[in-house]
Amino acid sequence: MTKFKTVGVALAAMMLAAACAGPGTTPGATPAGSPAGTPAGEGYRIGVSNTIAGNGWREEMICSIRAQALASGEVSELRVAHRNTDPAGQLEDLRSLIAADVDAIIVNPAGADAVNAALQEAIDAGIVVVAVDQAVTLEDAYLMANNQEEYGYLGAKWLFEQMGGSGDVVYMRGAAGATADDDRDRGFRRALGEHPDINIVHEDWTGWSQDTGVQQLNAFLATGQNYDGIWTSGIDNVIVDALRAANAKMVPVVGADNAGFVQQLIEMQDEGVTGAAVTNPASVGGAGVALALQILKGQGPSDRAVLVNPEVWDNTTDAGRAKLQEANDPDIDPTWPLGIHIEGWTTYTKDQILACTGP
């Protein structure tokens, strides 16, 4: 890949509402079969492939894609394959999009090279490929994502410092084999290398499933092993709830900027809840649409990878508490990240992302 360009994240003063987060807000795969090609002057046809449904982050990502496609005024049709599936299923979805003769494909890949065969077929057919959230290894594909390695590093560094530089940490990862999980792990272990007295007492993959994460934590608590901190890959508010339900020792917890976790960090500090939310905007989906449109018009950036810089919002400093208060919105579904825009890329309104409809 080429060198990275980084951009900042702009958080709206008012954030997402729960209305867009419920089941059914992002329909499954759109059937193929409409006429191939894009008639002149009628806009571009964009396909979307995503392999995890029902996860708050992914649902917001799809809403962001729909909203940006609509707001751009340049997309005549959006074909969305949004379902729980494996690499084989994603290969099928991608090939259906290629057969539909779309102009660009926005893909959250099952793995760095798991669906390269279909993506290469798309590129060979002249289709622009933009990976969002997670990179692929094809040199001709573009990337729009949060800087996942920094996400892992910043949260782990904060946690290890809160632990006083020593102790036992529970390491709750994302999905095994996912590019984002691998990147976060590199960042986590970079911080670990700076704190040699930190010990990983338990490591597991949640698959970014809240239910799975709670089950894993409860199983760990039943062992009676010591723990001094918990790092989660965005499975956060339910982990705090599980600790409280078990009357377990409260320790610093790292999670993402999900609405429920941010509320906990604000409202439960007096109850011993200490933690940090690391930003991970799902609006990289909409930014990926904007990037694809730039490329289609011959205005793409020289760097094929655009990374968004994460921030740490903790409830142990005045600056961190101010960030949490600024972002907090109790009306938002607890599983949704709080950022709706990426400065310089997304142009939709709050109402448009809440509506979660596209062309």
Q: Look over the chain and give the mean of its residue pLDDT values, rounded to a whole number.
A: 88
What local confidence, expressed as pLDDT, does residue 345 receive?
Answer: 96
Chain segment 53-99, per-residue pLDDT in tens? 888 899 999 999 999 999 999 999 999 999 999 999 999 999 999 99
Task: Give me the residue label for tokens 């909203």.
Answer: 67
Domains of the chain in sequence order: 4-146+281-311+337-355 (3.40.50.2300), 148-278 (3.40.50.2300)
Q: What is the CA radius of gyration of the chain?
A: 20
What local confidence, expressed as pLDDT, does residue 9 receive?
Answer: 39
Where residue 24 falls among pLDDT bands split at 50, 70, 90? very low
Report which DSSP code applies to 258.
B
Q: Using alpha carbons, select from 324, 317, 322, 290 the residue that is nearest to residue 306.
A: 290
Name the residue type at position 99.
A
pTM of the model: 0.82
Burial call 8-33: b when 16+ CB within 10 Å, e when fewer: ebebbeebbbbebbeeebbeebbebe
Q: What whole-number percentage of the chain has pLDDT above 90?
A: 79
3-state helix, strand, coil in the chain (%, to 5): 40, 20, 40
What local confidence, expressed as pLDDT, does residue 354 receive?
Answer: 87
Phi, psi of 260 (to 5 degrees): -65, -40
Report which DSSP code applies to 62.
H
Where residue 22 falls among pLDDT bands split at 50, 70, 90? very low
Residue 279 has pLDDT above 50, yes or no: yes
What local confidence, expressed as pLDDT, does residue 19 receive?
Answer: 31
Burial call 80-92: b when 16+ CB within 10 Å, e when fewer: bbbbebebebbbb
What local confidence, expressed as pLDDT, does residue 31 receive?
Answer: 32
Where residue 253 falls among pLDDT bands split at 50, 70, 90? very high
What local confidence, expressed as pLDDT, does residue 336 receive?
Answer: 86
What local confidence, expressed as pLDDT, does residue 229 receive?
Answer: 98
Chain segment 157-197, per-residue pLDDT in tens? 999 999 999 999 999 999 998 889 999 999 999 999 999 99
What local confidence, expressed as pLDDT, does residue 275 receive?
Answer: 98
- Evaluated on CA atoms 295, 297, 301, 307, the torsion sign reads negative
Phi, psi of 129 (to 5 degrees): -115, 125
Max CA distance (Å), the chain: 66
3-25: average pLDDT: 36
Residue 244 has pLDDT above 90, yes or no: yes
Which tokens in the block code for residue 57?
Answer: 């982050």
296-306: average pLDDT: 93
What local confidence, expressed as pLDDT, does residue 351 receive?
Answer: 87
